[in-house]
Structure 1
């Protein structure tokens, strides 16, 4: 640290010398400009004065001639000659160059004084100050807010701080540990620069970890201060992935999306035949069909014993819901012939379809032959007289027995189930000849929570379906 202080001190001294040298250069340039201006003004005013002196000399010469003519006239004895001479004198006086001497001179006595005022420059030089390193801000956890997939961070500077703050810089990263940041974290720091003011809202987040750690520092135009003490905020949200190990064989599933694949089942049959053929010593590529590559799938820890089959084109989430409230959203391909989303018990059978058993609740969209949008449970369906949104939000309150579906864009409620859940739930989805994408790690929107509280004392319009 001592070595760093010495190096920084030497660097600052060098910068100071450079700054003063630049000031000297500026003053020299200013001096040259002022000298040139003074010389130009002196030459211009001297030229004007010389012209005025020449005019005065000519006027005096004309006046002498006029006086001589007047003396000759006074000595004239003839009346006619005197009148004629007087008329000539009158014309000469009227047109005499001396008449111009009554006009205001272009160069006056006041204009002979030149002045240079350095008051403003001197004041600027005297006001030059070093910019000190800004003090360390302090984050106020009690005033910070985590809501609606955003984090509002509030901080303050020490009292009496006057270091010409230009902007603030925030660094944040996700973590699964509630305490102070660890030396080896999986997530890197993310940086936000150029923040004005002592409050900032980070929006549009997806919380795939339990906490977020923040730190902030102040910056002036020369240097940045130290980071504040890190503050870790809890970011409660429901995060899950699609369980590729339990999906129907005609679904190609990635982490958060699924697509119906008509060849999926045939590929599986081909692979089974290839395996049997290899057991009998047959070549795996005796026919073109045996060379078809199967879609990439995540290995199932259960060996596929819970895989859906037949017309149950279903895939489940990999995280149970057994407490509290949660929310997620789904965007589906509008050209899908059939699509459903909801929740189900783990006991849903391989051949069961969502909404056709007492163990599942869902909204079902049918685009095949005739478009219908229904709420299904226990093999009962109720047609919904609402427009089908492109993105649907799902709200589940396990303890209070609410399962609500919303238009994710304007948060209009589409339908609500009331039920007494007796087993943990899993997010459930079905798609036929189409695809969908799931957005998880989302918090329950404030407006949705308000609507649910408002409706918690009223009966569900679909009580007959639960």
Structure 2
């Protein structure tokens, strides 16, 4: 505040999302969002969806007559995990678009047949300029790992977890026949299914003929005697060796794996006859944090939730 009128009545906080570390940049910056009349010297900004990597903050003091200069902006990094589905890893029977995956019984064959038809037309006379076209789902443009194949019907996330605590949610289509949600090491084999190896952990829902709900790891299953939620929340504490699944609406704990993660983890998804929608970039909900603290402090009930391999 100016020295001649330094009585402070309240503070003004402004913030904006940015993808740059360090000092704010004029170009490509979003507009400041304002929170006025903050009476204390501390303020908790809640209700944010952390869908950007960094945020700028600045503050100034005010009274009824004048306002002081803004403080130098401070850039803070958001810790939430933001990721999409890795199309280069997906099974050819899955159609992947960023944060959505859907069972595709044609397995890309329709697109391949279109390409072959164009090739045949181009063989008489001048070759068709589209002869070199390939489907965006073609194995020839896959990434550093093989696509999943056989009956795995799996796709992995495109961002590895190497430390920290993270949370994301998954919603299944109502008519989805079978799906799994979990994590896996990068070296999960291309024929492997989530939960059937010692390098993957998941909960599995099967709505084919009769509904089954189970936690799976290392080809062992633990039946879950509860209603399958509309949305499943996944909490991963890499350093603490804990993977928990929640009813994302009620925050009811569904199951917890306790182990020691020795390699980076990738979110993993399996789907058959249906689709899954992913929501990442979320803060760990306060209710989940509280449940984790209480669970870690209890020896009785928590012991029944330990890794199914023990």
Q: TM-score normalised to the size of structure 2?
A: 0.81
Query: Partners in 2 of 1:400 and 1:161 — Cα distance?
Result: 44
Tell me whether 320-329 or 364-373 shows the greater mean CA deviation: 320-329
Are the counterparts in 2 of residues 345 and 426 from structure 1 also a CA contact under 8 Å? Answer: yes
Are the counterparts in 2 of residues 323 and 398 from structure 1 also a CA contact under 8 Å? Answer: yes
1:398-455 deviations in Å (ceiling 9; x for gaps): 2222111011122211001122222221100011121121111122223323322333
Query: Partners in 2 of 1:168 and 1:297 — Cα distance?
Result: 50
Q: Which residue of 2 aligns with 1:307?
A: 147
SS of equivalent residue, structure 1 residue 244: coil
Query: Partners in 1 of 2:207 and 2:29 — Cα distance?
Result: 43
Q: Which residue of 2 aligns with 1:401?
A: 241
Query: Partners in 2 of 1:398 and 1:260 — Cα distance?
Result: 30
2:179 equivalent among 318, 330, 339? 339
SS of equivalent residue, structure 2 residue 88: helix
Q: Which residue of 1 aligns with 2:14?
A: 170
Q: Which residue of 2 aligns with 1:319?
A: 159
Are the counterparts in 2 of residues 341 and 428 from structure 1 also a CA contact under 8 Å? Answer: yes
Q: Which residue of 1 aligns with 2:102?
A: 259
Q: Which residue of 2 aligns with 1:197?
A: 38
1:236-262 deviations in Å (ceiling 9; x for gaps): 111211111111112221221112222
CA separation of 1:215/1:308 partners in 2, compared to 1, >3 Å: closer, same or farther? Answer: same
1:247 equivalent among 86, 90, 104? 90
Query: Partners in 1 of 2:46 and 2:139 — Cα distance?
Result: 35
SS of equivalent residue, structure 1 residue 172: strand
Q: Which has the higher helix share?
A: 1
Greater RCO (Cα-Cα under 8 Å, separation 6 or more): 2
Q: Which residue of 1 aligns with 2:51?
A: 208
Q: TM-score normalised to the size of structure 1?
A: 0.56
CA separation of 1:247/1:271 partners in 2, compared to 1, >3 Å: closer, same or farther? Answer: farther
- The 5 Å alignment of 1:4-19 reads none
Query: Partners in 1 of 2:127 and 2:212 — Cα distance?
Result: 45
Tell me whether 375-384 or 298-307 shows the greater mean CA deviation: 298-307
Q: Which residue of 2 aligns with 1:160?
A: 7
CA separation of 1:244/1:330 partners in 2, compared to 1, >3 Å: closer, same or farther? Answer: same
1:461 equivalent among 294, 298, 305? 305
Query: Partners in 2 of 1:280 and 1:442 — Cα distance?
Result: 52
Q: What residue ranges of structure 1 are gaps of 5+ in the alignment?
A: 1-134, 137-157, 286-292
Q: Which residue of 1 aligns with 2:211?
A: 371
Tell which structure's C-alpha radius of gyration is larger: 1
CA separation of 1:264/1:215 partners in 2, compared to 1, >3 Å: closer, same or farther? Answer: same
Q: Which has the higher strand share?
A: 2
Tell me whether 221-230 or 250-259 shows the greater mean CA deviation: 221-230
Query: Partners in 2 of 1:381 and 1:284 — Cα distance?
Result: 55
C-alpha RMSD of the superposition: 3.5
Query: Partners in 1 of 2:8 and 2:293 — Cα distance?
Result: 45
CA separation of 1:423/1:168 partners in 2, compared to 1, >3 Å: closer, same or farther? Answer: closer
Q: What residue ranges of structure 2 are gaps of 5+ in the alignment?
A: none
Query: Partners in 2 of 1:283 and 1:259 — Cα distance?
Result: 39
1:72-93 deviations in Å (ceiling 9; x for gaps): xxxxxxxxxxxxxxxxxxxxxx
CA separation of 1:230/1:303 partners in 2, compared to 1, >3 Å: closer, same or farther? Answer: closer
